[in-house]
């Protein structure tokens, strides 16, 4: 079930999104998916204002080249809950049954069953 609206960047990026059965996406979900995919498993709950960003930039500016793009996929396994306002960055896998608390910025893998929160997100309840 998708309540929408969804933002998918760039146009045509929807081909890089897979959503499993029984999953729920609340309002104002953003997918930044120019080339790497976002895969969402079954029975996943996603709160409002969550962003999935598969692209980031390098920290060093090179004259004539810019910062360059770092593009990596995102995987959300089955039965995960991502609460309101979380940001999930490229290269992250969120393990089955994990919880991401509201406002967290997830930049590392999350173990199955773990509860993570903060900026950057850290495990606050052991799996």
SS (H, E, C) the chain: CECCCEEEECCCHHHHEEECCCCEECCCEEEECCCCCEEECCCCEECCCCEEECEEECCCCECCCECCEEECCEEECCCCEECCCCEEECCCEECCCCEECCCCEECCCECCCCEEECCCCEEEECC
Q: What is the pLDDT of residues 16-41, one digit of tens each?
A: 999 999 999 999 999 999 899 999 99
The residue that leads in pLDDT, 7 or 109, is 109
Confidence tier at 107 by pLDDT (50, 70, 90): very high
Confidence tier at 127 by pLDDT (50, 70, 90): low
CATH fold of 6-125, please? UDP N-Acetylglucosamine Acyltransferase; domain 1 (2.160.10)
Confidence tier at 68 by pLDDT (50, 70, 90): confident
- Could you tell me how many residues make up the chain? 127
Is the CB of residue 18 less than 8 Å from the CB of residue 38? yes
Is the CB of residue 60 less than 8 Å from the CB of residue 67? yes
Is the CB of residue 59 less than 8 Å from the CB of residue 67? yes
Is the full-model pTM beyond 0.85?
Answer: yes
Give the active site residues: 57
């Amino acid at each position: 079930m998708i309540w929408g609206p969804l933002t998918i960047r760039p146009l045509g990026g929807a081909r890089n999104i897979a959503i499993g059965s029984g999953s729920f996406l609340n309002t104002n979900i953003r997918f930044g998916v120019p080339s790497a995919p976002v895969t969402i498993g079954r029975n996943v709950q996603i709160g409002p204002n969550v962003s999935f960003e598969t692209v980031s930039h390098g920290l060093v500016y090179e004259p004539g080249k810019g910062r360059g793009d770092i593009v990596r996929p995102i995987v959300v396994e089955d039965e995960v809950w991502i609460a309101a306002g979380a940001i999930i960055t490229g290269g992250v896998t969120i393990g089955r049954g994990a919880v991401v608390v509201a406002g967290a910025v997830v930049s590392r893998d999350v173990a199955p069953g773990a509860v993570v929160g903060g900026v950057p997100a850290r495990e606050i309840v052991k799996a």
